[in-house]
Amino acid sequence: MSIPDGRHGPHAFVADLDAPLLSPDDHAHLSRSLRLRPGDPMTICDARGSWRRARFDLVPEPDGPVVFVPARQPPVTVAMAPVKGERTRWAVQKLTELGVDRIVMLETERGVVRWSGSRVERSLARLSAVARSAAAQSRRVRLPLIEGPMTLSELAAAAGAGLAVAERGGDPISSITHTVAIGPEGGWGDTEIDPGMPRVDLGPGVLRAETAALSAAVLMGFKRDELARGHSE
């Protein structure tokens, strides 16, 4: 969940809300790109659901009580095979803005982009940085968890009954779907999907992987909001 609006200025993450310290990169962004001056209003957040108002500086001055925002339930996960170029980073940015709680990179039989060795750590670090920036921009109070790579069977073992695979002709997403797996653009391998695994349809047309990931996030988020209001199907 996010802070409702930007009335209190830009948003940044710190390790300690009582003794906040901005990272050099965050301070540079706020002062140079957003042109904040010492004393300007902003909000600071611990990335674990708590935030407070503050006054901008390298060491922000707290200017209000700590507010705790409960996590939205159930947590929503989107899993996707990495795609070429900047499209994976773009997808992570938008999934973060849409409120996804967990983003998993899938290792698939027909995936074009493959991570191994030291590339895994570097790639996850870059995606986590993208998510952190997007979370600040969208005023989230929690950072999404970025994980992977893992196979579909590994994801299924961790996700349990809430997992469904995106596939044309499947059922509509319902409130019991908490995790959607998006295959590579070459399609799933012949033996990758367990015969009993639920399938969900993300709408008409053939979607690129990153578009399908966003569609899944929007639909699961809508169902979660319906559930919170007490009238989800």
Give residue-wise pLDDT tens across range 172-190: 999 899 999 999 888 888 8
- DSSP for residue 162: G
How many whole angstroms separate alpha carbon 30 and alpha carbon 21? 13
Please provide the average confidence, as pLDDT, over all residues in the chain: 91
Would you call 46 helix, strand, or coil by DSSP?
Answer: coil
The tokens for 173 are: 């997403």
Which domains are assigned to the chain? 11-68 (2.40.240.20), 77-229 (3.40.1280.10)
Give the closest residue to 144 by CA, choosing from 105, 97, 83.
97
Q: Amino acid identity, residue 95? A: L
Phi and psi at 53, nearest 5°, equal -75, 155
Indicate whether 138 pLDDT > 80: yes
The model's pTM is 0.91
How many whole angstroms separate alpha carbon 132 and alpha carbon 111? 26
* pLDDT value at residue 5: 63
User: Residue 195 burial (CB < 10 Å; 0-12/13-18/19+)?
Assistant: exposed
In the structure, what pLDDT confidence band is assigned to residue 6 with cuts at 50, 70 and 90? low
User: Which residues lie below 8 Å from residue 140, measured CB to CB, with a gap of 6+?
Assistant: 1, 2, 45, 96, 99
